[in-house]
Chains A and B, each alone.
Chain A
Amino acid sequence: MGEELAKKIPIAIVEPLKIKKKIAKEVSIAIAEAVAQCRVDVISAYPITPQTHIVEHLAELVNNGELDAEYIPVESEHAAMSACIGASATGARTFTSTASQGLLFMYENLFIASAFRLPIVMVIANRSVSAPISIWNDHSDVMSMRDAGWITTFAENGQEAVDLVYHAYRVAEKALLPVAVNIDGFILSHVIEPIEFLDQELVDKYIPPLRMKYKLNPKRPITMGAIGVPEIYTEAKKAQDEALKASYKIIINAWREFEKLTGRRYQPVETYRMEDAEVALIIMGSLAETAMNAVDFLRERGKKVGLLRFRLWRPFPLKDFLKAIGKVKAIGVIDRAISHGATGGPVGIEVRSALYQSKKRPKVVNFIAGLSGRDVTVEDFVKLFEKTYEAMRKKTNFSYEIYGVKE
């Protein structure tokens, strides 16, 4: 059928150089293949739903001799991150992947990985956190690690997930910081999409062999993980904080380089129909695709609405955000995690805090939606836009609303 279709398309309108091969793949498999293309040396992971297919496929590639890497089948996520730290400290390119309870189980090691400045790359197939036990998607797992010092990005679709994996290695090894790439569990991890991979040649150009100046080497001994007495702990943390802030430029440059190689353009804050928008929603991850349909629907009806999405979450892209909001009068922030007892969801808190430093003061309303894989449909997004419009007319700000909860 493809061939017949190709015959019908006049060749003249297709520029030969721009024909690119797209392959239908489950996003998890595509991620695993991108990781393999990045020529990882060590994979250390423990399978957990909905990340399983990623690490299973990597295990398969190693087993079949298609990938020359060490696959460490550890006994837990705590050990998975520990092994990544150990391997990365010797200068090996490492990968791990997890979700939900698994991420929480490796929690203490997340802080060590970033403080040691190790360029570990991790894909998190975002899933809600127990209890009640749930395997479905939301962002409560990754939001718990927002202070752990990792560069953190969120993908909207499979192509972006694959591209963010390439980007993660490029960035991690230049910034000497770990990178967490987030994909929505099931919504992305288990969906089949046409994916355009980079040619191996381009991957090798984009991600040159890892050369770490300081690494564990018996010939040139160094000490890692020494005690930080009160006289030096603050300085150590300041240095780490500055490194994370400085990674912003590396992140941007890596996306620019990527654009040169592939033509695919990425920026820290994605905008959709934000020009002249007066009301905007903010969301992260794959639900943005649904939200865009709601934007189109309302735009067709003359409403000036737009959408913002944080692709980069840490370091927080403050300037990009303030620029992206333009002249909106009201923002509805949709959080996919609860911060119990706080003044809002994690993204809501961040957005309000960012605006407090700015002259721009749009009304901010905060919704918590799509917990544990509950659908947020186009109709829901239209309602959320309506609620944001309503809030614009009200005097008081409310802290947050759990959208769609059954009363």
Chain B
Amino acid sequence: MPKDEGLVSWKNLAPGMIILEAGNSVKFKTGDWRAFRPVLDKEKCIKCGLCYVFCPDLCYTKDEEGYYICNLYYCKGCGICAKNCPRQAITMVLEEEV
């Protein structure tokens, strides 16, 4: 549910806490669970897009230059992108050390 948009009063919940709107999980900020953040080294990146393919949360999108950029609003920091990167262009860095 849209916790990023502040708390919802119990009075405004649909009966049975059903969700009437399709695809509203985009509002849900999953990124605040993250302990490690993927940091991309553009020097090493070959724009192969494997990070985009493997990301379980579909966080990656292509920018104008062709690089795949991680959307930190959703990224949970699982590290799958870093593990699958054939050039080790992605490093997982502790949030506190970014």
Contact = CB atoms under 8 A, between A and B. Distances in A.
Contacts of A117: 15-16
Given A231-B1, A231-B3, A236 B13 contact: yes
Nearest to B13: A239
Interface string A222-238: 11101011011011101
A242 interface: yes
Contacts of B16: 115-118, 176, 214, 224
B17 A226 contact: yes
Contacts of B18: 116, 214, 222-224, 226
A241 to B, nearest CB: 9
B1 A239 contact: no
B14 to A, nearest CB: 7
Interface in A116-149: 116-118
A222 B20 contact: yes
A231 B15 contact: no
A221 B19 CA distance: 9
Contact of A238 (B1, B10, B20): B10
Given A221-B22, A222-B19, A229 B14 contact: no
B15 A235 contact: no
A201 to B, nearest CB: 31
Interface residues of B, number: 16
Contacts of B19: 222-223, 226
Contacts of B17: 115, 226, 228, 232, 236, 239
Nearest to B9: A235
B8 interface: yes
Contacts, number: 57
Contacts of B20: 214, 222
B88 to A, nearest CB: 34
A231 B22 contact: no
Contact of B3 (A115, A116, A232): A232
Contacts of A235: 7-10, 13
B20 to A, nearest CB: 6
Interface string B4-35: 00011111011111111010000000000000
Nearest to B17: A236
A243 interface: yes
A234 B1 CA distance: 13
Nearest to B15: A117
Contacts of A224: 16, 18
B10 A236 contact: yes
Given A222-B20, A224-B18, A232 B11 contact: no
Contacts of B11: 239
Given A214-B20, A231-B3, A232-B3, A243 B10 contact: no
Contacts of B8: 232, 235
Contacts of A236: 10, 13, 17
A226 B22 CA distance: 12
Contact of A239 (B3, B7, B10): B10
A20 to B, nearest CB: 38
Contacts of B10: 234-236, 238-239, 242
B15 A229 contact: no
Contacts of A226: 1, 17-19
B58 to A, nearest CB: 18
Contacts of B22: 221, 223
A203 B14 CA distance: 30
Nearest to A237: B10
A214 B1 contact: no
Contacts of A229: 1, 3
19 contacts: A115-B16, A115-B17, A116-B16, A116-B18, A117-B16, A176-B16, A214-B14, A222-B19, A228-B17, A229-B3, A231-B1, A232-B1, A235-B8, A235-B9, A235-B13, A238-B10, A239-B13, A239-B17, A242-B10
The 10 tightest CB contacts between A and B, nearest first, are A223-B19, A117-B16, A235-B10, A238-B10, A231-B3, A239-B10, A236-B17, A116-B16, A117-B15, A232-B1
Interface of B: 1, 3, 7-11, 13-20, 22
Given A221-B22, A224-B18, A231-B7, 17 more contacts: A116-B16, A117-B15, A117-B16, A176-B16, A222-B19, A223-B19, A226-B18, A228-B1, A229-B1, A232-B3, A232-B8, A232-B13, A235-B7, A235-B8, A236-B17, A239-B17, A242-B10
Interface of A: 115-118, 176, 214, 221-224, 226, 228-229, 231-232, 234-236, 238-239, 242-243
